[in-house]
Structure formats: C-alpha cells, structure tokens
A = this chain, B = another copy of it.
Amino acid sequence: MAVYTEVSDDELEDFAAEYDIGQVVSCKGIAEGVENTNYLLQTDQGNYILTLYEKRVNPEELPFFLGLMEHLAAHGLACPTPIHGRDGKALRTLCGRPAAIVSFLKGMWSRRITLGHCAELGPAMATMHLAGADFPLTRANNLSVAGWRPLFESIRPRAAEIKSDLAQSIEDELDYLEAHWPRTLPVGLIHADLFPDNVFFLADKAAGVDRMSGFIDFYFACTDVLAYDIAICLNAWCFEEDGAFNATKARLMLNGYRRVRPLSADELDALPLLARGAAMRFLLTRSYDWLHTPPGAMVKRKDPMEYYRKLRFHQGVTGPGQYGIE
C-alpha cells in the first residue's frame, strides 16, 4: 500500500509536457509497492507508470536501475522501459523527488502459483541473466552474505520476540554460510527480488494457460552470483502454503532455466547452500521489518518464521536432486 507523495494536476501537466506521450487523461495512485510512489498515468496515446522515488531508494543508484530496465527490454526481456523526455533524459524531478515514467506492462501477478507458472518463470529468468551479461554498470548486493551479520546484530537484542532461540539459530547459520559461501560461481546481473508479485502473467484463453508477460520492480537488482537468483526463486515459488516443498515446481523451474542457460555442476551443487543464504536474507529482513512495524500500522507484516522454516528445509537438503534435478 503506497502513494506517499501526492502529485497535483498542475505539477503533473508540467511534468508530462516534457515527454512526447500525449495529453494526460487520468492519473491514479496505485496501492502496490511499499518503496516508492506509483501512479498509473493514462494519456490519449496509452498507459504509463509514473514513479516518484522515495527515501528508501538511493538517488545515485537510479541510473543503474533505469539503465538496466532499458537494457533488458532492448535485449528481449519483457519489462517496463523508461520513457525519455524531449531532452533525452529519463530521470527528472517531480514534487522534489527523483521521478521517471516507464512503459506500462500488461499482466497480473498470480496469487496461486501453478506448475505452469514455475515452468514459465525458469526460462524467463535465464533470458534475463543472459541479457544482463553485457550491461556495463554494476551494483554490489548489499543484502548478500557480507550484509547479513550487521543486519543480524541490529535485530539480535529483540530476536527472542519472534522465537526464543532465534538469535542462536541465526548466528550458527551465519557462521556456516560465511565459511562456505561460494566465491567462484558465475556472476552477473540478478533481479534479487523475483517474488511472485514481481512477475506478471496473462491468461492465454485459447491454450488454457497463463503466459509470463514480464518482470517488474528492479530496485533490488545487483551484480551477484547468477544461481543466487534461482535460489531466491526456490524459496519464493516452490513452497506450498502449508510449508511443504514442491519438488515438481522446482524441477519445472530449473529445467526451464537450463534450457536457456545451462547450469554448471558447480552451480547445481551450490544450490542448497545458496537457497539457505536466500532464506537467511529474507528471514533477516522480515525479522527487521517485523520488529520495526508498529502493530497498529496499516501495513501487513510478513511473517519472518516462514523463512525460518524454509531455512530449516534447505539445511536438510543434501544435494540438488532434492530440488528435482535429475
């Protein structure tokens, strides 16, 4: 639930006049996303998304994010594309905030993940990884292994509010992850937040299936181990509501990925460890948000324990075969 910054009609008119997008006929704040302010902007030429970047986004990193979306779209990945103004600039200022207009991506994210969704996700993720190979900018992943212990230290004093022995469990796991984290796997551009709400699908009525229509929200994208993106998706897409791991979903996702970008033996072998790391990352950030969200706030808190249980599952995985890999 968002819309932090209200844009007046006058300010919007002036802003839109910098672009060749036609005349504004509607502009409605979208109640999605918690990082930025998003408007669905309609002109007599089409639909766009207007984003005002709020304080959780570092303005210095915006050229990376916008450049990446443009690069990926130009290389065949369906995703929002920044619109350039008449002066050539895609990033300008609105209501005192950095702001950009991007193309509108059709589709909806799926609340109920099917095998078919996972089969579509895999090749699209691989396509993104290949498309990102020659993107010239880089951005460190500040939520990877080096960032986890400082985050843990910030929540440690209150971790018992979530689970009595949570701090000890996290500390033991961090010791293990830091000692074993892979340093030689292929690195490249990853999305790093490829949860179901960032992947759109459109129903193909004739075929009776959903087709992936694109990825959104690249504001965690960074340069990191490519297989770590897969590990995030193993966590985000392949568990059922009751906590059970669905190896069929994992197999369909992984096999779809490998058809587009083959995975080396090292990458496959590292998947259980990377999946533990991904579970740790979301356990930590969710714990932080859980402890810092006032109970009365109108924001739905995401249960950190979901990722504690996923971490426990991956700790018991002895090889990639348990993810459905033949």
> Which residues of A are at the interface with B, using a C-beta cutoff of 8 A?
1-3, 6, 8-10, 12-13, 23-32, 40, 42, 47, 104, 106-112, 201-203, 205, 294, 296-299
Contacts and interface: CB of A to CB of B under 8 A. Distances in A.
A111 B11 CA distance: 10
A27 B108 contact: yes
Given A3-B1, A296-B294, A10 B108 contact: no
Contacts of A28: 30-32, 40
Nearest to A105: B26
A3 to B, nearest CB: 4
For this chain, the copies found in one complex come to: 2
Contacts of A31: 1-3, 28-31
B25 A106 contact: yes
Given A3-B31, A9-B108, A297-B298, 4 more contacts: A10-B111, A10-B112, A24-B108, A28-B40
A56 to B, nearest CB: 16
B112 A12 contact: no
Nearest to A3: B31
B26 A108 contact: yes
A112 B26 contact: no
A81 to B, nearest CB: 16
From A9, A47, A202, A297, name the one whose CB has the most chain B CB atoms within 10 angstroms. A9
Given A29-B31, A30-B31, A24 B297 contact: no
A95 to B, nearest CB: 11
A107 B294 contact: no
Contacts of A109: 9
Nearest to A294: B296
25 contacts: A1-B3, A1-B298, A2-B31, A8-B111, A9-B109, A9-B110, A9-B201, A10-B111, A10-B112, A13-B203, A23-B203, A23-B205, A24-B108, A26-B106, A26-B107, A28-B31, A29-B30, A29-B32, A30-B31, A40-B40, A42-B106, A296-B296, A297-B297, A297-B298, A298-B298
